Structure 1
Amino acid sequence: MAASRLHNTEEDLNGESGSEASSIYQSGSVISTVPDRHGFLGGSQYSPERKQAIPPEVILRRERKWIRMLNNWNVFMTTNYRKVRERCRKGIPPSVRLRAWLNLCGGELLMKENPNLYEELLMRPGDPKYIEDIKKDLHRQFPHHEMFVENAPGQQELFQVLKAYSILNSKVGYCQAQAPIAAFLLMHMPAIQAFWCLVAVCDKYLVGYYSQEMETLQRDGDILFALLKRVSPVAYKHLKKQKMEPILYMTEWFLCVYTRTLPWESILRVWDMFLCEGVKVIFKVGLVLLKCCLGRTSLTKRCPTMYETLQVLRNPPHQIMEEEALVYQIQRLNLSEEDFEYEHQRQTLRRKAKDQASLPTANGNN
């Protein structure tokens, strides 16, 4: 099972040939049964390969640096975080990504502090409502990946991870957007490690995102929109003119951390940075997508109504989302830590004032 989480060997990719051995019919279209190096069957939105492969000697050099860093993790994180961040931005080598992600998000520490908790959670029955909702969503997660095709073992692991989290954090329980994140993590690591990474992501990085009221997500949508005014006035004016609330286009981006949006190589790079730098990476990716989709008047003219605008934002051109192009645009954004902090405080205060204004007055009148 663990081997399928990493990319396949050349022998796997160049195995049996012929249309009968290499493809099946699904929903009227031919889909290859030979997985790509990430485990996806052909025809998936995630299948396109990177345009420029990194030379093997560069990968080997990066692997050695990462191994040294992981073996001295606490020292690097406390005395040389900039080096860690720089290496995450370049992309973590696949061979060490599991260890790197576990250390970056704090999952490794959580696992050591709670050595038997995951197994104990699996023994508990769980809330019937959450259990039913989880079961309904299992078949929807990456159905073209070899781990999650019908009756594949990955679906049972996914069920267990999501169930365990719903018991551990019963206040949050289960939210549909957690499923693609848990499935994504399971492609890279065993279930117990995927569980603790999911706990870290939900409870540390995306605090409040999965509440029923979605207040945190709405506030972050306002922050995104305010930052867009600085990054791309053209896109900002277009969305404001069409009165499009950010929640309409950024919900899936933020809740699923782009696991349902970007090509696979791009998702991996975004997560390398996200687990290192935090939620601001999600904002930066969103700003790049908005700017590249709507940042010129020639582009906004093609979106005369909200319908066309949503279509473009839900299906950005592939060249915008390609790994190196996306990372390049992220790094070009002229936004400081102070910009993020300022907008966070401003939008938080703005929402508090709005909530207080909507409360009943002292004499009982609204």
Structure 2
Amino acid sequence: MQEKLTVLEPESLYPDTLLEQRVMGDTVRILQGNAKKALMELPDELCAQADGLMTLRLAVPREALEKFPKLKVVIRMGVGYDRVDRAYCAERGITVCNIPDYGTQEVADTAVTLAATLRRGIPLYHDAMRGPSPCAWGVIQNPIVRRFDVQTFGVLGLGRIGTAAALRAKALGFRVVFYDPHLPNGADRAIGVTRLESLEALMEASDVLSIHTPLTRNTRGLVGAAELARLKEGAVVINTARGPILDLDALEAGLRSGRIAAAGLDVLPVEPPVPEPPLLQAYRAGEDWLRGRLIILPHIAFHSPEAWDDIRLKSAETMRDVLVRGLRTNVIPPDSD
């Protein structure tokens, strides 16, 4: 009788493994660990059994991978895969997969909602209305507030989430442009948006910049001081992708100078943010210069009850396809950026 393959869920994200078992079939044995912060917390004897590893929050560095002598497949239960040591996986012949269609609607909804919320001045008025008496009743003259259809919504990275954000922004009346050097010709025409040929052109065109590129060695620090300086005066910056893509100090300088009107961030360069960067300190202290101009979320743009169910099902299906059936579903090429 053929020995069963073993899949390890190191975080015990769900109360049971019934769905995973149903999807993967009876040739797979599913184990759960109880790691809280790192794979290194798992006992060696548990890791030694795993042919497949499915992880959501935990990083997968080389030193952790060395605990898994039989490992064949790593599933990063999400879109980003920057916390997996793919170079070492390639050395070992370990296949790395992500779940590229997970949270597409939720992240796009969050990005465009952040932009719309800021551009309508809702945080500005919200903070003013709950300020000291007497109530600040009336119009606040502020460059944050703009009509949508006089603005250009710039999308950096027109993948699945970027495309969904572009369509939502277009529906709200924004003119939508994008920059994505990896996208084939015609993608712009398919959804009726405008392709720009360089990052500099995107910045110079954008009243709202929404970041939707993955974090790679080429995109780390991609949006820095020089790029932000090219944005239109009074621009809004949205980042629901990965924190290290955007230079947080440069963003703070732009906000302080007034050149950037506002920002909405679901991600930060270090999460949780310890120690807190200066921008977050000013935000949490409610400093006057920043009031109504910044929204920070704790990396939850992906979440909804429906998305939480999606990630479980899609991860199990991907593991089944790759580990059991030998398919190439959602495989990340070892040499991808």
Q: Same fold (TM over 0.5)?
A: no
Please state which structure has a larger fraction of its residues in strand.
2
TM-score, normalised on structure 2? 0.24
Please state which structure has a larger fraction of its residues in helix.
1
